[in-house]
């Protein structure tokens, strides 16, 4: 999956580093992430970024994370976020481009895609915490931990990671697949949704399947998890069996389609970067 980046390892804990030559910069605007033009994902170094027209104007560099090589002691890459107080449009200079965050997923496995998506998660969090949620005073990044601190009332906010559930519902040789009711989403996926306040993940799984498709489940079992920076969530994946009638009544506001698909008819997935696609592929291949 996309987080499988060995021999690199993500070290997400906050460290109070100052940007130094050789570090990389994630520069997001409404148009997307600044990248060197080409067929692979290539981020600007600190030196390159500072030379680009308008890139550094009004931007504060905040430490994001580092990647540590598991086999070569001392080898690492450090990354910083360029944060601005406004959502200014900053066109990409010649030789560079801005790529929407969701397009990063299409660049295959490897550390650049995972790093970019994780940076997008952090960027969204910082960008939506510019003001204190209690008194409205402009907040400041914390200096000793990853936080946003209000200088007026002292409120401290930490990165939020909402849990979501994915449920692969099986009825013998059939799998329950859905398709979102959104433009540009032709791909079949599993039932999914957020865990609500006061719910366990297991309760959320049963509720989401019932709400979206109208069927009941039993024998729920945990399959695994995945950080998904594009939505800022931690996806918790489950498998379950149909419990009772197989009649589907799907939520037509959220879904364009929900259907039982025979194993032999499950469409091939484009990749196994997401845990959803990995589970669908495993069912199609007879692995569960």
Task: Give the tens place of pLDDT for each residue, 13-52.
Answer: 999 899 999 999 999 998 899 999 987 889 999 999 999 8
Query: In sequence order, which residues have a C-beta less than 8 Å from that of residue 255 and are 6 or more positions away?
Result: 178, 179, 180, 181, 212
Q: Note the pLDDT of residue 56.
A: 63
How far from 183 is each of 186, 254, 257, CA to CA, in Å?
8, 12, 13
- At residue 244 the predicted structure's pLDDT band, cuts being 50, 70 and 90, is very high
Whether the Cβ atoms of residue 212 and residue 190 lie closer than 8 Å to each other = no
Q: Does domain 8-128 have CATH number 3.20.20?
A: no
Q: Note the pLDDT of residue 271.
A: 85
Q: Note the pLDDT of residue 40.
A: 84
171 pLDDT higher than 80? yes
144 pLDDT higher than 80? yes
Whether the Cβ atoms of residue 80 and residue 50 lie closer than 8 Å to each other = no
Query: In sequence order, which residues have a C-beta less than 8 Å from that of residue 9 and are 6 or more positions away?
Result: 67, 68, 69, 70
CA-to-CA distance for 164 and 222, rounded, in angstroms?
A: 13
Lowest mean pLDDT, pick from 38-47, 115-124, 126-135, 178-187? 178-187
- At residue 108 the predicted structure's pLDDT band, cuts being 50, 70 and 90, is low
Q: Note the pLDDT of residue 86.
A: 72
CA-to-CA distance for 117 and 124, rounded, in angstroms?
A: 11
Average pLDDT, the chain: 93
Q: Note the pLDDT of residue 194.
A: 97
Query: In sequence order, which residues have a C-beta less than 8 Å from that of residue 247 and are 6 or more positions away?
Result: 214, 215
Q: Note the pLDDT of residue 251.
A: 86
Q: Note the pLDDT of residue 235.
A: 97
80 pLDDT higher than 80? yes
Please report the DSSP string for 35-103 in residue order: EESSSS--PPBHHHHHHSTTTTTTEEEEEEEEEEESSSTT-EEEEEEEEESS----PPPTTEEEE-GGG
Q: Note the pLDDT of residue 216.
A: 98
218 pLDDT higher than 70? yes
Q: Note the pLDDT of residue 59.
A: 87
Terminal C-alpha separation, the chain: 18
Choice between 103 and 19, residue whose per-residue pLDDT is larger: 19
- At residue 187 the predicted structure's pLDDT band, cuts being 50, 70 and 90, is confident
CA-to-CA distance for 192 and 211, rounded, in angstroms?
A: 10
163-284 and 8-128 share a CATH fold: yes
The domains of the chain are located at: 8-128, 129-159, 163-284
Residue for token digits 């209690």? 134
Q: Note the pLDDT of residue 30.
A: 87
Q: Note the pLDDT of residue 225.
A: 97
Q: Note the pLDDT of residue 109.
A: 64
Query: In sequence order, which residues have a C-beta less than 8 Å from that of residue 93 and are 6 or more positions away?
Result: 52, 53, 55
CATH of domain 163-284: 3.90.79.10
- At residue 219 the predicted structure's pLDDT band, cuts being 50, 70 and 90, is very high
Whether the Cβ atoms of residue 191 and residue 213 lie closer than 8 Å to each other = yes
287 pLDDT higher than 90? yes
Nearest to 169 by CA among 75, 83, 97, 238: 238
What would the mean pLDDT of 63-70 be, rounded to a whole number?
97
What would the mean pLDDT of 172-195 be, rounded to a whole number?
91
């Amino acid at each position: 999956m996309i987080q499988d980046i060995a021999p690199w390892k993500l070290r997400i804990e906050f460290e109070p580093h100052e940007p130094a030559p050789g570090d990389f910069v994630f520069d997001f605007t409404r148009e997307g992430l600044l990248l060197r033009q080409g067929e692979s994902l290539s981020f600007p170094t600190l030196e390159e970024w500072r030379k680009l027209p308008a890139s550094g104007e009004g931007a504060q560099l905040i430490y994001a994370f580092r990647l540590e090589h598991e086999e070569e002691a001392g080898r690492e890459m450090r990354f910083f976020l360029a944060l601005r107080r406004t959502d200014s449009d900053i066109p990409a200079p010649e030789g560079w481009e801005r790529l929407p965050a969701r397009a990063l997923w299409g660049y295959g496995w490897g550390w650049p895609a995972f790093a970019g998506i994780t940076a997008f998660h952090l960027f969204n969090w910082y960008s939506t915490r510019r003001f204190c949620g209690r008194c409205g005073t402009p907040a400041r990044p914390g200096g000793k931990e990853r936080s946003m601190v209000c200088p007026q009332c002292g409120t401290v906010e930490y990165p939020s990671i909402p849990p979501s559930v994915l449920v692969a519902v099986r009825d013998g040789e059939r799998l329950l697949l859905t398709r979102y009711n959104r433009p540009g989403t032709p791909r079949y996926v599993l039932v999914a949704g957020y865990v609500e306040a006061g719910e366990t993940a297991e309760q959320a799984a049963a509720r989401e399947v019932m709400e979206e498709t109208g069927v009941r489940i039993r024998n729920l079992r945990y399959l695994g998890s995945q950080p998904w920076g594009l939505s800022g969530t931690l996806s918790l994946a489950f498998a379950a069996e149909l419990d009772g009638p197989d009649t589907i009544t799907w939520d037509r506001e959220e879904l364009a389609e929900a259907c039982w698909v025979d194993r032999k008819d499950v469409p091939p997935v484009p990749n196994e970067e997401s845990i959803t696609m990995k589970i669908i592929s495993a069912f199609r291949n007879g692995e569960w």
